[in-house]
Structure 1
Amino acid sequence: MPPRHRLLALLVALTWGLNFPAIHLSLQQFPPFLLVALRFAVIAVPTVLLVPRPRVAWRWLLGYGAGFGVLQFVFLYLAMDTGMPTGLASLVLQSSAPFTVVLAGLLLHERLTARQGAGVAIAVVGLGGIAAYRAGLDGGAALLPVVLTLCGGLGWAFGNLCNRQAQADSAFRLMLWMSVVPPLPLLALSLAVEGPDAIASSFRGLTTPTGLAALGGLAFTVLIATVVGTGVWTWLMARHPSSVVAPFSMLVPVVGIAASWLLLDEPTRPAELALGALVVAGVLLGSTRPREPGRVDREPTRGDEPSAVTG
């Protein structure tokens, strides 16, 4: 992966890490299933009206939307709504990276090099250490929210593989059209589980500080985390093996834990910072390859750049 692409992957990790405090703020106003439906409906409506559908098979488009859009966020938002700490959620969700690498090997027959395997293993040790450390604080996280977040990570991994198989002519349009899949099933789920009364009450008080913070969090989630972050991630996944790109998602909890500490006053400890550094080391090891003698990395041409960045 060229250095410029690694920087883009780091940008995605930053936006997705900050996304968790934004979700926390939005969940103070909206019930979880409705919030996921709103997140994608804001993108889906202009997409259907203005954006041509990418030339991909429907099964991969629907699979990408179901995995990345529905399963990941239904389980994540439900976990956070039932007590999953914001920083810990950003950590456990990154189980998608090893899930992706393992599923890519089993289903897509992608070869995992020894260097990549070692990098993933080091990062997983760091993630596991942070999880174990956080579980021992204040009585630990409840089992159900952790299991729900792991299910979200598995959904994300499934979406990654469908994105990889889609081989879209435009990765950015694929990301936008993926957003068309979640709103209707999630709105139906919200009506069935959360009920019309809860939905109606969530739209009252939007001018209060809590309501305005929730709308700000929703705006960040839609515009920055989804359009920019997911657009760049989709572009990278379409151009590099899943085992190269997916480990960068392990950097998200480093940002998420730090942001939760700074913005939400969630405590962090030196041990977590040290384990976070181990995650960074593993990602860097797994995403870089030794330079071969006489090899020159090709700089991408303008046509290779993601449309989310170059416009």
Structure 2
Amino acid sequence: MGAAAAADDTGSLAGRDYLAALCVVLVWGTNFVAMKLGLRELTPFQLGAGRYLFAFLPLALFVRPPRLPVRWVLLYGLFQGVGQFGLLFLALRAGMSAALAPVMLQMQVFFTALLGFLLLGERVGRPLQAAMAIAALGLACFCADFFGRGSEVTVIGLVLTVASGAMWGASNIVVRRIRDIAPDFDVLSFMVWSSLVAVPPFILLSLAFDPPGTRWDWRALSMTGWASLAYLGWFATILGYAMWTGLLKRHPANRVAPFSLAVPPVGIAAGMLALGDRITPWQWAGIVLIVLSLALVVFGPRWRMRLRSPGAPL
């Protein structure tokens, strides 16, 4: 009991945590391709409603609502569902590229650390500070490439993607607050029922802003469109976010959030293979810096301990 508590206090991750983080990275890295394919046939608000309807059904028939105050389920559904992905889908439609989106979305790391410090009093250690600085350089490389290409990515797409990252950071903080009041809450139940929260707002937004000519006709949706919705709903949302939320449930937000820095390299590779995206020298430089920052986050505390105690195991 004491050892487990100490591990949690220091933010140490076990082998299963690293495996979960790897699965999340692979699923989230490839889900940007599914988003792009889905947006060929659906509007951003329709894609959002469809994604979370798939995430809610059919699991809701077998999973009971979480034993949590309703406000936390509502807040998470609004921040993570309508906020993060509503803005991201709009960004992808407004001119954000599939290759750059997973990189700019990593602004959530900074928003999570800032909100964790301001609202939860979480400490930002030196390894994390150094990793964030290196990641910022990586993001700067992608921004340099963005300004160099100019016409391929719009300013509004960039702004919406950064705002999406802010909503992701806010949802991370909601999970941390839930962990404080209910450490043993059921992650799967939480993910399934918080998905329902996002469906009505997306439907209302579609009815309010989508042109009448784009109103839903599910019979016209291709197999690719259905596969995109299923992948986004069942894998990227339920599987990915259940694992992600489980990590946040067990560890401080500023210790978990940087793992998402590995999503951009996977996303870029998926874009190259599936969509024919081209990788520029600036983008390769950004990838290297981001992966380096992730390595520092994962191994930094261990390396620091090794320097302080030369006999300590790596």
Q: Same fold (TM over 0.5)?
A: yes
Alignment of 1:206-221 (within 5 A): 206=221, 211-221=222-232
Residue number in structure 2 paired with 1:109: 121
Q: Following TM superposition, by how much is the alpha carbon of 1:137 offset from its aligned partner in structure 2, in angstroms?
A: 1.8
CA–CA separation in structure 1 for the residues paired with 2:272 and 2:147: 17
Residue number in structure 2 paired with 1:243: 254
- Identify which of 173, 192, 201 aligns with 1:176: 192
Q: Which moved more, 1:132-141 or 1:113-122?
A: 132-141
Residue number in structure 2 paired with 1:156: 168
Q: Following TM superposition, by how much is the alpha carbon of 1:32 offset from its aligned partner in structure 2, in angstroms?
A: 0.8
Residue number in structure 2 paired with 1:278: 289
CA–CA separation in structure 2 for the residues paired with 1:17 and 1:197: 32
Q: Does 1:233 align with 2:244?
A: yes
- Identify which of 78, 91, 96 aligns with 1:66: 78
Counterpart residue type for residue 40 of structure 1:
Y
Counterpart residue type for residue 249 of structure 2:
A
Q: Secondary structure of the residue that 1:130 maps to in structure 2?
A: helix
- Identify which of 176, 188, 194 aligns with 2:204: 188
Residue number in structure 2 paired with 1:307: none
Identity across the alignment (%) = 37
Residue number in structure 2 paired with 1:304: none
CA–CA separation in structure 1 for the residues paired with 2:241 and 2:46: 20
Q: Does 1:256 align with 2:267?
A: yes
8 Å Cα contact 2:94/2:154 also seen in 1: no
- Identify which of 144, 151, 156 aligns with 1:139: 151
Residue number in structure 2 paired with 1:97: 109
Q: Following TM superposition, by how much is the alpha carbon of 1:296 offset from its aligned partner in structure 2, in angstroms?
A: 8.6
Q: Following TM superposition, by how much is the alpha carbon of 1:225 offset from its aligned partner in structure 2, in angstroms?
A: 1.1
- Identify which of 9, 16, 20 aligns with 1:8: 20
Name structure 2 gaps, 5 residues minimum.
1-12
Q: TM-score, normalised by structure 1?
A: 0.88
Q: Following TM superposition, by how much is the alpha carbon of 1:4 offset from its aligned partner in structure 2, in angstroms?
A: 3.1
Q: Following TM superposition, by how much is the alpha carbon of 1:138 offset from its aligned partner in structure 2, in angstroms?
A: 5.1
Q: Following TM superposition, by how much is the alpha carbon of 1:47 offset from its aligned partner in structure 2, in angstroms?
A: 4.3
Q: Following TM superposition, by how much is the alpha carbon of 1:39 offset from its aligned partner in structure 2, in angstroms?
A: 0.5
CA–CA separation in structure 1 for the residues paired with 2:115 and 2:232: 27
Q: Do the aligned partners of residues 7 and 50 (structure 1) sit closer, same or farther apart at CA in structure 2, a change above 3 Å counting? A: closer
8 Å Cα contact 1:61/1:162 also seen in 2: no
Q: Following TM superposition, by how much is the alpha carbon of 1:287 offset from its aligned partner in structure 2, in angstroms?
A: 3.1
Q: Following TM superposition, by how much is the alpha carbon of 1:140 offset from its aligned partner in structure 2, in angstroms?
A: 5.1
Counterpart residue type for residue 249 of structure 1:
S
Q: Following TM superposition, by how much is the alpha carbon of 1:146 offset from its aligned partner in structure 2, in angstroms?
A: 0.6
Q: CA RMSD in A?
A: 2.0
Q: Which moved more, 1:187-196 or 1:62-71?
A: 187-196
CA–CA separation in structure 2 for the residues paired with 1:117 and 1:239: 21
Q: TM-score, normalised by structure 2?
A: 0.87
Q: Does 1:81 align with 2:93?
A: yes
8 Å Cα contact 1:91/1:131 also seen in 2: no
Once superposed, which parts of structure 1, at least 4 consecutive aligned residues long, lie more than 6 Å away? 294-297
Q: Secondary structure of the residue that 2:72 maps to in structure 1?
A: helix
Q: Following TM superposition, by how much is the alpha carbon of 1:265 offset from its aligned partner in structure 2, in angstroms?
A: 0.8
